[in-house]
């Protein structure tokens, strides 16, 4: 009896932040926890792949995943090569691991464009309103009017094949969703008493926008990032197919496209490996993203359904 009373007293004393309540709710979702574990494994693989890549690059040697062994071309999966080998006898497992690296790099670099752009424009539009809002709404309506796959293709095509094109293309197109959500939040928070209090105490617009309101919308950025990540991976495959994808490195899109002709010759392990590697990450991220949204902000309307 006294024990529970002490417990609840401790609970009451401890401030209940958004994050701690969210984490408690997230933890209850067993499937999401498993998926979080899967994502953590992928992060580990990503770090490993990054180290393999940089090790070879700094030593100026051919990295292990690019070593061709023409004696073992298109080899079946075996104990030596768990996922078989490709047309040049390179180990598929090593390439899949590098695919994790490429996928994470694309996601991080794209987010480095998407998040600042979407956040700043959304915050400006929501906070200042009036003509700033009108202009930014016009801007995102315009970007949103172009079917996203076409604008991503166009930008990647003009920028040139490779990582740069993909990242700039997706970054300059995908900010719209975040911008919309952030704008809505800023519109809401602008009316709150704490903003008026901060203004009354003499805080400038920029301070209110970035120091006072921004922490209250931070969770949206995390949700959007988690839900956008799988879409980046799936888009990369399409871009690779259209010939504006990664070059010279084994991304999953490149592997799936390389496997296109060889599938008809009965080489299924290349396609299978890349699809499986992609599948688990995309699935885990989708589920974690949904659970995060449910835990942090159940009313948030994130765009769903992808058309390509």
Partner 1 sequence: MTAYIIRRLFSVIPITMGVLLLVFVIYRVIGGDPAVRLAGKNATPQKIEQIRKTFGYDKPKFFNWQEAWQNTKPAFAQFRMEFARYRSKEVGVGTVFQAGFRLLRAPMAVFDSQFWQIVRQFAQLDFGKSLQSNQRISRMMADGVVPSLCITTPIFVIELFVAIALALLCAFYRNTWLDRTFVVISIVGMSISGLVYIMLGQYFFSFELGWFPVWGFEGVNYVLLPVAIGVIAGIGGSLRFYRTIMLDEMYQDYVRTAFAKGASHKQVLFKHVLKNAAIPILTNVVVAIPFLYTGSLMLESFFGIPGLGRMTVDAIYTGDEPVLFAMVFIGSVIFVIANLITDLCYTWADPRIRLQ
Q: Read out DSSP for 251-302?
A: -HHHHHHHHHHHHTTT--HHHHHHHHHHHHHHHHHHHHHHHHHHHH-TT---
- Count of residues interacting with partner 1 (CB under 8 A): 46
Based on the shown chain and the rule CB under 8 A, indicate whether residue 286 belongs to the binding site for partner 1: yes
Per CB under 8 A, the list member of 228, 287, 291, 296 interacting with partner 1 is 287
For 258-281, letters b (16+ CB in 10 Å) and e give bbeebeeeebebbbbbbbebbeeb
Based on the shown chain and the rule CB under 8 A, indicate whether residue 149 belongs to the binding site for partner 1: yes
Stretch that binds partner 1, among 50-58, 63-71, 177-185, 256-264 (CB under 8 A): 256-264
Per CB under 8 A, the list member of 93, 214, 271, 300 interacting with partner 1 is 271
> Any idea what DSSP says for residue 209?
I
For 140-150, letters b (16+ CB in 10 Å) and e give beebeeeebbe
Per CB under 8 A, the list member of 154, 207, 216, 247 interacting with partner 1 is 154
Stretch that binds partner 1, among 3-11, 51-59, 121-129, 253-261 (CB under 8 A): 253-261
Helix (H) or strand (E) holding 217: helix 214-241
**Cα dihedral sign for 234, 240, 244, 247?**
positive
Per CB under 8 A, the list member of 136, 166, 267, 278 interacting with partner 1 is 278
112 sits in the region (left: phi over 0; alpha: psi -120 to 50; else beta) called alpha
Based on the shown chain and the rule CB under 8 A, indicate whether residue 33 belongs to the binding site for partner 1: no
| Residue 158: CB minimum distance to partner 1, A | 3
Based on the shown chain and the rule CB under 8 A, indicate whether residue 44 belongs to the binding site for partner 1: no
Positions touching partner 1 (CB under 8 A) are: 138-139, 141-143, 145-147, 149-151, 153-155, 157-160, 168, 230, 234, 237-238, 241-244, 256-257, 259-260, 263-264, 271, 275, 278-279, 282-283, 286-287, 304-308
């Amino acid at each position: 009896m006294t024990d529970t009373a002490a417990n609840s007293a401790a609970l009451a004393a401890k401030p209940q932040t958004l994050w701690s309540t969210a984490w408690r709710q997230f933890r209850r979702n067993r499937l999401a926890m498993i998926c979080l574990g899967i994502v953590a494994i992928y992060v580990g693989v990503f770090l490993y792949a990054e180290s393999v890549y940089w090790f070879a690059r700094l030593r100026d040697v051919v990295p292990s995943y690019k070593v061709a062994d023409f004696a073992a071309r298109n080899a079946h999966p075996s104990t030596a090569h768990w996922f078989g080998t490709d047309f040049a006898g390179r180990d598929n497992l090593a390439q899949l691991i590098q695919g994790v690296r490429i996928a994470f790099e694309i996601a991080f670099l794209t987010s480095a464009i998407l998040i600042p752009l979407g956040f700043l424009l959304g915050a400006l539009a929501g906070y200042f309103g009036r003509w700033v809002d009108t202009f930014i709404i016009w801007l995102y309506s315009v970007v949103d009017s172009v079917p996203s796959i076409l604008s991503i293709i166009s930008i990647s095509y003009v920028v040139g094949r490779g990582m740069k094109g993909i990242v700039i293309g997706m970054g300059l197109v995908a900010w719209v969703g975040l911008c919309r959500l952030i704008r809505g939040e800023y519109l809401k928070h602008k009316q709150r008493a704490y903003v008026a209090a901060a203004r009354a105490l003499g805080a400038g617009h920029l301070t209110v926008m970035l120091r006072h309101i921004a922490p209250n919308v931070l969770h949206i950025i995390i949700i959007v990032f988690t839900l956008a990540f799988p879409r980046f991976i799936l888009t990369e495959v399409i871009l690779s197919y259209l010939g504006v994808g990664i070059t010279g490195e084994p991304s999953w899109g490149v592997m799936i496209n390389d496997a296109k002709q060889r599938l008809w010759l009965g080489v299924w392990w290349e396609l299978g490996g890349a699809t499986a590697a992609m599948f688990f990450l995309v699935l885990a991220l989708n589920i974690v993203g949904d659970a995060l949204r449910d835990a942090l902000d159940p009313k948030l309307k994130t765009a769903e359904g992808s058309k390509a």
